[in-house]
């Protein structure tokens, strides 16, 4: 179901890149258009874009946007630690969760729930991996215990969860509507 023609795939990739660029510069959407869509972008890229090369290109885009945020936009570098690179293992988990959703042949309630579970699992794994990277890379393993760190960061998970699911649901809805309109247009042309 989630297979696109080459031209449409490039358009979707460009739209996902614009979405990431428009929302990534400031954390939690403060001072920007909307909350950071990066997690959903990686999930949707796995779901909608055929080539694994897109994962690499979106990863490069994320690094460029972060460099811009730090160097030009003046965003604080508190999150830039040696553990930063573990973000990309988390993004890979999101991309792979989306990839598993490509096998869905029709979007009904059962398959919609499957897609939801994939997005939830990918988001949870992203959150875990990114926080493990921040914990060890930021030196928190030396300054506080793991239980204290978990207690402090667990409050952010609902935010990642809701934002990722909202963007992903919107992306899937747009895809489903476009597919229905395209199918209707083909029926009318006959």
Predicted pLDDT at 68: 81
Are residues 47 and 99 in contact, defined by beta-carbon separation less than 8 angstroms?
yes
Tens digit of each residue's pLDDT (9 = 90 or more) over 52-71? 999 999 999 999 988 887 77
pLDDT at position 30: 46
Domain ranges of the chain: 6-189
pTM of the full predicted structure? 0.88
Closest CA to 123 of 84, 85, 95, 101: 95
Question: In this predicted structure, what is the pLDDT of residue 186?
Answer: 61
Tell me how far apart the alpha carbons of residues 20 and 87 are, in angstroms, rounded to a whole number: 15
Q: What is the DSSP letter of 85?
A: G
């Amino acid at each position: 179901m989630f297979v696109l023609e080459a031209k449409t795939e490039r358009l979707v990739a460009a739209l996902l890149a614009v979405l990431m660029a428009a929302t990534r510069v400031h954390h939690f959407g403060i001072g920007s258009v909307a909350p950071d869509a990066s997690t959903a972008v990686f999930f949707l890229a796995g779901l909608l874009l055929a080539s694994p090369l897109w994962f690499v290109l979106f990863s490069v885009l994320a690094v460029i946007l972060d460099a811009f945020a730090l160097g030009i936009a003046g965003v604080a570098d508190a999150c830039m630690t040696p553990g930063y690179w573990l973000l990309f293992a988390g993004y890979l988990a999101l991309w792979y969760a989306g990839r598993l959703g490509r096998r869905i042949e029709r979007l009904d309630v059962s398959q919609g729930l499957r897609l939801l579970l994939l997005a939830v699992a990918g988001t949870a794994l992203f959150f875990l991996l990114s926080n493990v990277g921040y914990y060890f890379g930021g030196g928190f393993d030396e300054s506080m215990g793991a239980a204290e760190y978990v207690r402090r960061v667990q409050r952010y998970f609902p935010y990642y969860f809701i934002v990722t699911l909202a963007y992903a649901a919107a992306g899937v809805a747009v895809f489903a509507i476009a597919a229905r309109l395209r199918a209707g247009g083909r029926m009318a042309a006959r």
